[in-house]
Amino acid sequence: MFGFSSYGQFTLSGKITNEKNQPLTGSHIHTQYFNTVSNPIGEFEINGLPKGELRVYISYLGYTTCDTLVDITQDVVLNVQLKPSETKLESVTVKQKTAKVSSSLSEQRISKASIERNSSKTLADALKEVPGVSLLRTGTTIVKPVINGLHSSRVPIFSNQVRLEDQQWGTEHAPNFDLNAAGKISVVKGASGLQYSGDAVGGMVIIESTSVKQDTLFGRTIVSGSSNGRGGTISSSIHKGNSAGWRWNALGTFTYFGDRESPDYVLSNSGNRELNFSGDVSYVKENYGLSAFYSLYNAKIGILSASHIGNVTDLYNSINNQIPYIINDFTYSIQHPKQVIQHHLFKLNYLQKLDESSSISTFYSLQFNNRNELDLRLGEDANKAALDLELTTHSLQSDYKKEWNQFTLKTGISGLFQNNFANPRTGVRPLIPTYVRFDAGFYGIGTYEINEDLIVDGGVRYDFSTIEASKDYLKSRWEERGYQDDFADIIVDETANQWRTKPQFTFHNISASLGVRKDFQQDWKWLNNISLSNRNPNPSEFFSDGLHHSTGQIELGDLRLKKEESLKFSSSLSKNGKSFSMEINPFLHYISNFIYLRPIGFETTIRGAFPVWEFQQTNARLFGLDFHSQWNIHSNWQHKFSFAYVNGEDLSESQPLIDMPPMTISTSIQYKKEGWNGLLLELQSESVFRQHRYPDFNFETDIIVDGEFVPVIVDISTPPKAYQLFHFYSEMKFKAFKILDTTIALSVQNMLNTDYRDYLNRQRFFVDEMGRNIQLQLKINY
């Protein structure tokens, strides 16, 4: 058993070589926590290091011992060239670099502490600590990350290299991922990760599960209880590490919440349940490794009762009254409307080292996603889903990596096959039709170290994609869309009032990335990157046609949509000092054929009039700035500050882009005293400004008052006012029963119980956000 009093989250790895760049097998690497020995190719790895300064001694008989200080604030790669001891003592060459997606694009890691704090929340809640990441919400539990103003299909999420295929096109479809299963999370604010994909127009989120390379067995349990929602989460994991041979991990999470509450009323039907599992087994030898991974995400999420509205009169009333029309007493039970989701991910990976400097890694993955959306329905259909989608995705990928002295080459090929099945037995016309999709791609990325402090990298990727759908159009809709002239050839069949069509689309895309990184003295780094990416319209943008019940609007796709082309330039200047660190990250982003939803008028049905929103394309320009700093004022006091601003403009119409996150500022002050059981106190202030730049998509409608039609304006455009929230966090560490390392954390979110609404919450027309929440958390390592 392994003492985990010093269990930290960082890894130090690297390669020990001699003056001729030959590996030194059996070099001793000593630190105050762990010692290790380099393997036959000179490589070593030490896991579980805490944050802070670390003295590292590297010795090899006949060579001068290297004694260096490494600042552990993230995973560090330390490549050391030892000099023979006969020669005159000279300073050794120490190179520090981090294992990253791209060496020229700024990448932010989410700390393990943040992952644990958000144990009972969502993936996106943990990502919010990164400046430039905001949250797109539908209620309290459906949360998606927005990176520099973009989200959903533009921000793919990768779990252990596998792109999550979980109907991610929809704004009310949150990532089907259990945050507790994440070991490491990185946010890349651009499309430069070409080894992953060529269509990450907004950026990407890369998640790796915990992997322990030390010979040990340990477990961890986190129990969280929250006052708001009167529920909590229990997550337990067990990890068997090994330097070579068998390693395995298993994790289970259970979440149970009732209705959340805003400061003034219960948010009826906002409870949720989750029951998740993930686990992996791997067998690792010197030259090869084989691993199998499986995860299951299983969730039931209530959709706020008050957001289920009827026609535009209901929408008008809700916006103007500012009070939800359904407020029931608190309950744990989840009624309709609700979402019931299952996501299975299975992956088989094989890594083969070809020689000391090259390796090839191949994986196959299978994902099965079943999304059921249950609505308020009558009679026999009451318990029948209104939307039942089964999405099956197979993917196969092989990556080759070769390192020379100054040059690293990564290249690979990938293929994907996907089948979506929209169950017609729901008795409701599905928003997303049945379809099959086939993708293939290959890429090459090179990184060249011109010298120790100047690195250039560049890459190019080609993607082929074809999709064929089976879609039924109402004949009236077919004509309204004007498809009879352009798409008459895709009709294959007809029923009384519908056309059965087989639309098919094929795309060839080239994406590329080019960047340079320059290191200056005194811990300054300057990164510049330009990336070109393409995103094909997703099935919802092509095929949507019908009433979206949760928003009370008719959404119409368009078969004529073209792919989006994006060009993003981003620059990052950072300083990583002992007492002060900061990063400033400006960007400029052009997207041609940018797809967005825009209101175009009304349609009258027997249920009344509904606003019609159509997917349209325009040329968009975004620019913005993210900044964060960390100042260690004193050994006990720390100050953190972050700022994010994005400005989106529709260039074709000369007006602001819709749904751009408002400016945010976050400040926190932290007091830490190791001597007092690791006492940590933190106070955070979060200020969200009002979004002043928004397009006016308000529309006029007639509502009936006293038997007369009265024209009114439905204000769907005006963003809510600015708000400021205060959050508190505290923790202490104990040894329970003398052996169990235990942390108790008490935190309060929205301390002042402030009433507010957020521009990026799709339910802002109906309810206030959640009020004060007090959370008690217990973490045990054993």
Partner 1 sequence: MKNLKIMALALTAIFTFNSCSNDDSPVVEEELITTLTATFVGGGETITLTSRDADGDGPNAPIITLSGNFAASTNYSGSVQFLNELVNPAENITEEIEEKDLEHQVFYQIPNSLGNFTYSDFDTEGNPLGLEFTFATGANPGTGIITITLRHLPNKNADGVSDGNISNAGGSTDVEVSFPIVII
Q: Where does residue 662 rank: exposed (0-12), middle (13-18), buried (19+ CB within 10 A)? A: buried
For residue 384, the minimal CB distance to partner 1 (Å) is 8
The window from 127-135, 386-394, 514-522, 724-732 that contacts partner 1 (CB under 8 A) reads 386-394
For residue 602, the minimal CB distance to partner 1 (Å) is 10
Q: Are strands 608-631 and 637-650 parallel, antiparallel or unpaired?
A: antiparallel
Q: Are strands 498-501 and 107-110 parallel, antiparallel or unpaired?
A: unpaired
Read off the tokens for 440.
């293939």
Residue 497 binds to partner 1 (criterion: CB under 8 A): yes
Residue 336 binds to partner 1 (criterion: CB under 8 A): no
For residue 265, the minimal CB distance to partner 1 (Å) is 13
Q: Residue written as tokens 């500050």? A: 641
Which of 99, 354, 376, 740 lies at the binding interface for partner 1 (CB under 8 A)? 376
The window from 73-81, 84-92, 462-470, 512-520 that contacts partner 1 (CB under 8 A) reads 462-470
For residue 470, the minimal CB distance to partner 1 (Å) is 6
Rule CB under 8 A: which of 387-406 touch partner 1?
Answer: 390, 392, 394
The window from 125-133, 463-471, 559-567, 772-780 that contacts partner 1 (CB under 8 A) reads 463-471
Distance CA 176, CA 165 (A): 9
| Residue 382, CA atoms < 13 Å, CB-side half-sphere | 4
Cα distances from 85 to residues 21, 23, 88, 466, in angstroms, run 16, 17, 7, 62
Closer to partner 1 by CB, 80 or 428: give it: 428
Distance CA 188, CA 204 (A): 5
Closer to partner 1 by CB, 61 or 378: give it: 378
Read off the tokens for 449.
């170290």
The window from 101-109, 236-244, 372-380, 557-565 that contacts partner 1 (CB under 8 A) reads 372-380
Distance CA 158, CA 207 (A): 6
DSSP alpha helices (H): ranges in 12-110? Answer: none
Residue 333 binds to partner 1 (criterion: CB under 8 A): no
**Position 108, amino acid:** Q
Q: Where are the beta strands (DSSP E) in 103-215?
A: 107-110, 133-138, 142-147, 157-159, 162-163, 184-188, 204-208
Cβ neighbours of residue 486 under 8 Å, at least 6 residues apart? 559, 560
Residue 472 binds to partner 1 (criterion: CB under 8 A): yes
* DSSP conformation letters of 388-430: EEEEEEEEEEEEEEEE-SSEEEEEEEEEEEEEEEE-GGGSS--
Interaction mask 520-549, partner 1, x per CB under 8 A: --------------------------xx--
Evaluate the CA torsion angle 145, 148, 150, 154 in order and state its sign: negative
Residue 24 binds to partner 1 (criterion: CB under 8 A): no
Closer to partner 1 by CB, 389 or 561: give it: 389
Residue 379 binds to partner 1 (criterion: CB under 8 A): yes
The window from 22-30, 179-187, 373-381, 535-543 that contacts partner 1 (CB under 8 A) reads 373-381
For residue 283, the minimal CB distance to partner 1 (Å) is 25
Rule CB under 8 A: which of 665-724 touch partner 1?
Answer: 704, 706-709
Which of 146, 164, 554, 780 lies at the binding interface for partner 1 (CB under 8 A)? 554
Residue 606 binds to partner 1 (criterion: CB under 8 A): yes
Rule CB under 8 A: which of 407-436 touch partner 1?
Answer: 417, 419, 421, 423-430, 434, 436
Q: Where does residue 697 rank: exposed (0-12), middle (13-18), buried (19+ CB within 10 A)? A: middle
Residue 331 binds to partner 1 (criterion: CB under 8 A): no
Q: Which residues bind partner 1 (CB under 8 A)?
A: 305, 308-311, 313-314, 325-326, 342, 344, 366, 368, 370, 376-379, 381, 390, 392, 394, 417, 419, 421, 423-430, 434, 436, 438, 466, 468, 470, 472, 474-477, 480, 495, 497-498, 500, 502, 504, 546-547, 554, 603-608, 610, 704, 706-709
